Structure 1
């Protein structure tokens, strides 16, 4: 079964400095039909104007990662981390017992366009931690590169949950098939471009909930960048 979540049906927050589109309920956008999927709780597509951003705020017991598509995102937190996240980088923060951080656009002339994604943890009250790494385009071209996993396997970042996240780039004749284990769920989010997923055409911002499928087939991409989530079976 594949259930589409089209880009133009998402919730929207529009402020002077921020345009955000919410795949699942977030903030003032509440939709009982879209409260998350399995342990995937938030996919926000954010565009932040130059020299603006999210001032220092707190999180607790949540796995949060950022995936920058254009521009740069400056991160600072109460653990003493300070970094700039750019396209190709993956950043993961486990909030655990509590952490404060800020996310700002350091540019004076261009927006930052990024995805902020939350995964519900399977352990509460852990020591907060921060991870970041860069993944070359070649590793994602025509394939799904593991970027997040429970044990940090194959050079991925670690998450406190039985979840795996893959990133891929598809164009032209690129194609890839990912086997889906029995009793697992999957979610696909097309970050940009267009891509065929199990015979359905998805465009930038579109997503798909996938249940009771044995595999995920990705092909006929058009400058597509995609994230795939392998999750516990959604009840």
Structure 2
């Protein structure tokens, strides 16, 4: 794989923003109205949306196909229902993976009612599967305890090297999703991979050699890694490690 080493810091303010009466969506890659997601992908990452959803609101039943969807809640709860019979409340520390496969219908809404004041703050990420047209599937994983260790935790992976780890299986052998919650002064090392994506979901952190990251900032990595990220304030990092690209 011939790729040139690159580190690109993307300020959160540079993301695309899409708003309506109940949703404020900040999109690292153009998603709303874009039907050729591969053209804007970094590595395998097609969609990386950070959404604020008002109480009682959300996405009514809609369809997906041949997409691996990871949902990570930062605040509040997501009420999930799908056409395979799965339903539940997704909260912080509980990861959700939905493989749309040959086709799935689902809805996702803020678990707080209209009269409550709890907003939903959630990050949703999409990657393509290795194989299309398979049966849809669903999985949850509670990693709240592991996140207390100030380490990089593999949350979802299709990579053979993570077999046996406490991670959700995803239908792409070239991708792994990691999360770290860090106390001030604690450090993690970014995996060295052909493609990487580091997103600061909370707090402030120092990215080795590239300065301070604020909430909403991201770093897109190509053919590099091994950098240290140190929390300045309490911080939460969402990191993708990828060995292939979705770009055509």
Q: CA RMSD in A?
A: 2.1
Distance 1:222 1:163 in 2: 29
Q: Cα distance 1:176–1:54, how it changes in 2: closer, same or farther (>3 A)?
A: same
Q: Cα distance 1:157–1:130, how it changes in 2: closer, same or farther (>3 A)?
A: same
TM-score by length of 1: 0.92
Q: Cα distance 1:153–1:43, how it changes in 2: closer, same or farther (>3 A)?
A: farther
- Per the alignment, residue 165 of structure 1 pairs with 177
Residue of structure 2 aligned with 1:50, choices 51, 55, 61:
55
- Per the alignment, residue 222 of structure 1 pairs with 233
Deviates more, 1:14-23 or 1:196-205: 196-205
Runs of 4 or more above 3 Å deviation: 28-32, 137-141
Q: Cα distance 1:214–1:103, how it changes in 2: closer, same or farther (>3 A)?
A: closer
Residue of structure 1 aligned with 2:71, choices 58, 66, 75:
66
- Per the alignment, residue 20 of structure 2 pairs with 15
Distance 1:216 1:123 in 2: 32
- Per the alignment, residue 175 of structure 1 pairs with 187
- Per the alignment, residue 123 of structure 2 pairs with 115
Offset, 1:137: 4.7
Offset, 1:95: 0.2
Deviates more, 1:208-217 or 1:222-231: 208-217
Query: 1:75-90 to 2 correspondence within 5 Å?
Result: 75-90=80-95
Distance 1:22 1:100 in 2: 23
Q: Does structure 1 conserve the Cα–Cα contact (< 8 Å) formed by 2:76 and 2:111? A: no
- Per the alignment, residue 3 of structure 2 pairs with none
Q: Does structure 1 conserve the Cα–Cα contact (< 8 Å) formed by 2:196 and 2:225? A: no
Offset, 1:30: 9.4
The structure where strand makes up a greater share of residues is 1
TM-score by length of 2: 0.87
Q: Does structure 2 conserve the Cα–Cα contact (< 8 Å) formed by 1:61 and 1:121? A: yes
Q: Does structure 2 conserve the Cα–Cα contact (< 8 Å) formed by 1:24 and 1:31? A: no
Offset, 1:195: 1.2
- Per the alignment, residue 220 of structure 2 pairs with 209
Q: Cα distance 1:7–1:79, how it changes in 2: closer, same or farther (>3 A)?
A: same
Distance 1:92 1:233 in 2: 20
Distance 2:109 2:8 in 1: 34
